[in-house]
C-alpha cells in the first residue's frame, strides 16, 4: 500500500523566515520506498524521444497497467532537454557526473549534489564531492545547489534575499523517506532550505526553478503538462 500525504505549509509560522517569502506556500509529498514504486524517466525506449511531460509518462505507465500517482521534474537540463549532470536510470549511466566548477547558474552554486536510489531501494542525497560510486545506484539525478548539507543551510544562501522564484527540491527525512516539495508562490533559497531543515532533513537538493511542477491529483494538482528533462514519478 502506498504511504503518502500532502502537507501544505505556510511560511508565516516559521521562525527566522524572511518578509519576502513569508506568504509562500509549500506543497510536500512523502515517498516510503519500502511500500512505493518510484522511478526516474527521461526517454521513451520505443521512440527514443524525451517524455518531456507528465502526460507522456502517464501514457507509458498505462501501457504497463500502472497508475501514475505523483510526478515532479527531476533536475536541470540543457536546450536539448538532456541532463546537465549525472543521470542514472535502471542502473545505467546515461549522462556523466558533472564536476565543472567554472560555470555560472544555480547548478554551479557549489556545493551541488545528487538525489538517487540505491539498488536496495534506499534514497540518498549527497554532495557531488561525496559521490564516488555508481555501482550500487539504480536511479540518480544531479542538480544544484544543495539546500542542506549535513543539517546546515547552504553557506551562500542569504536570509531575506530578494532572489524569489518558484522552486522544487527533495530531501531525506529522518525516517528514511524522500520528501519532495514545491513552492506554489515565489520563495528565496534560504527559506526554501529552511523548510527542509524544519522537517528534520539533514541533506536536501534543489531540483529546478520557474519551470517546476508537481502532479498529485488526489490533492488537486492534476496538471499533466510541462516541458522537462528528467521526470521522477511514483506509480501503483
Q: Give the pLDDT score at 17.
A: 39
Query: In sequence order, what are the residues at sequence separation of 6 or more whose Cβ sits closer than 8 angstroms to the Cβ of residue 144?
Result: 76, 85, 106, 107, 108, 109, 110, 111, 112, 113, 128, 205, 206
| Any domain includes 59 | yes
In the predicted structure, residue 8 carries a pLDDT above the cut 80: no
pLDDT at position 22 over 80: no
Spatial distance between the Cα atoms of 108 and 98, rounded to a whole number of angstroms: 10
pLDDT at 133: 86
Q: Who's near 155: CB < 8 A, 6+ residues apart?
A: none
Work out the pLDDT band at 20, boundaries 50, 70, 90: low
Residue 7, number of CB atoms within 10 A of its CB: 14
Residue-wise pLDDT for 106-140, tens only, equals 999 999 999 999 999 999 999 999 998 889 999 99
Question: Using 50, 70 and 90 to split pLDDT, how confident is the model at 59?
Answer: very high
Residue 224 belongs to some domain of the structure:
yes
> How does strand 113-118 pair with strand 123-127?
antiparallel
Average pLDDT on 186-198 reads 98
* pLDDT(228) > 80: yes
- State residue 102's pLDDT score: 86
Prediction pTM value: 0.90
Domain annotation covers residue 79? yes
Phi, psi angle pair for 14, to nearest 5°: -85, 145
pLDDT at residue 70, as a whole number = 98
Predicted pLDDT of residue 19: 47
Q: Is residue 84 part of a domain?
A: yes
* Per-residue pLDDT at 9: 39
Q: Could you give the CA distance from residue 33 to residue 118 in angstroms, rounded to a whole number?
A: 11
Q: Which of 8-12, 32-36, 96-100, 197-201 has the weakest average pLDDT?
A: 8-12
Question: How many angstroms separate the CA atoms of 180 and 200, rounded?
Answer: 13
Residue with cell 537538493: 205
15 in a structural domain: no
Largest CA distance in the chain: 50
User: Taking all residues of the chain, what is their mean pLDDT, rounded to a whole number?
Assistant: 90
Average pLDDT score over residue span 162-170: 97
- Structural domains counted in the chain: 1
Cβ distance 70 to 234 under 8 Å? yes
Higher pLDDT, 24 or 50: 50
How far apart CA 84 and CA 128 sit, in angstroms, is: 13
In a domain, 230, yes or no: yes
**Residue 140 included in any domain:** yes
∠ CA 128-98-51, nearest 5°, is 105
Joined grid coordinates for residue 118? 540505491
Task: Give exposure, 139-149, as e/b (b: 16+ Cβ within 10 Å).
Answer: bbbbbbbbbbb
Domain assignment present for 70 = yes
In the block, cell 520506498 appears at: 33
The residue behind cell 518531456 is 52
H helices of the chain, where?
Answer: 54-63, 189-198
Quote the pLDDT of residue 206. Answer: 98
For the cut 80, the answer to whether the pLDDT of residue 6 exceeds it is no
Residue 75 pLDDT: 94
Q: Whole domain around residue 90: which residue ranges?
A: 30-145+187-235
Write the CA distances from 204 to 44, 89, 148, 227, integer angstroms. 29, 20, 5, 24
Q: CB-based burial of residue 158 (10 Å sphere; 0-12 exposed, 13-18 middle, 19+ buried)?
A: exposed
Amino acid at each position: 500500500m502506498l504511504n503518502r500525504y500532502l502537507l501544505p505549509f505556510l511560511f508565516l509560522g516559521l521562525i527566522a523566515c524572511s518578509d519576502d517569502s513569508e506568504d509562500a506556500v509549500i506543497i510536500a509529498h512523502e515517498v516510503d520506498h519500502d511500500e512505493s514504486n518510484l522511478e526516474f524517466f527521461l526517454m521513451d525506449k520505443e521512440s527514443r524521444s524525451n517524455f518531456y511531460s507528465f502526460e507522456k509518462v502517464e501514457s507509458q505507465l498505462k501501457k504497463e497497467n500502472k497508475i501514475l500517482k505523483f510526478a515532479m521534474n527531476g533536475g536541470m537540463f540543457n536546450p536539448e532537454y538532456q541532463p546537465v549532470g549525472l543521470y542514472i536510470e535502471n542502473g545505467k549511466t546515461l549522462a556523466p557526473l558533472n564536476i565543472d566548477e567554472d560555470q555560472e547558474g544555480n547548478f554551479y552554486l557549489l556545493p551541488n549534489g545528487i538525489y538517487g536510489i540505491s539498488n536496495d531501494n534506499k534514497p540518498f542525497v549527497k554532495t557531488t564531492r561525496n559521490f564516488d560510486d555508481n555501482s550500487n545506484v539504480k536511479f540518480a539525478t544531479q542538480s544544484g545547489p544543495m539546500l542542506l548539507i549535513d543539517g546546515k543551510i547552504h553557506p551562500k544562501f542569504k536570509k531575506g534575499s530578494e532572489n524569489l522564484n518558484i522552486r522544487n527540491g527533495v530531501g531525506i527525512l529522518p525516517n528514511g523517506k524522500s520528501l519532495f516539495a514545491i513552492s506554489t508562490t515565489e520563495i528565496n533559497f534560504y527559506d526554501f532550505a529552511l523548510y527542509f531543515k524544519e522537517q528534520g532533513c539533514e541533506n536536501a537538493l534543489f531540483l529546478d526553478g520557474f519551470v517546476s511542477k508537481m502532479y498529485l491529483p488526489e490533492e488537486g494538482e492534476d496538471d499533466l503538462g510541462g516541458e522537462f528533462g528528467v521526470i521522477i514519478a511514483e506509480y501503483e
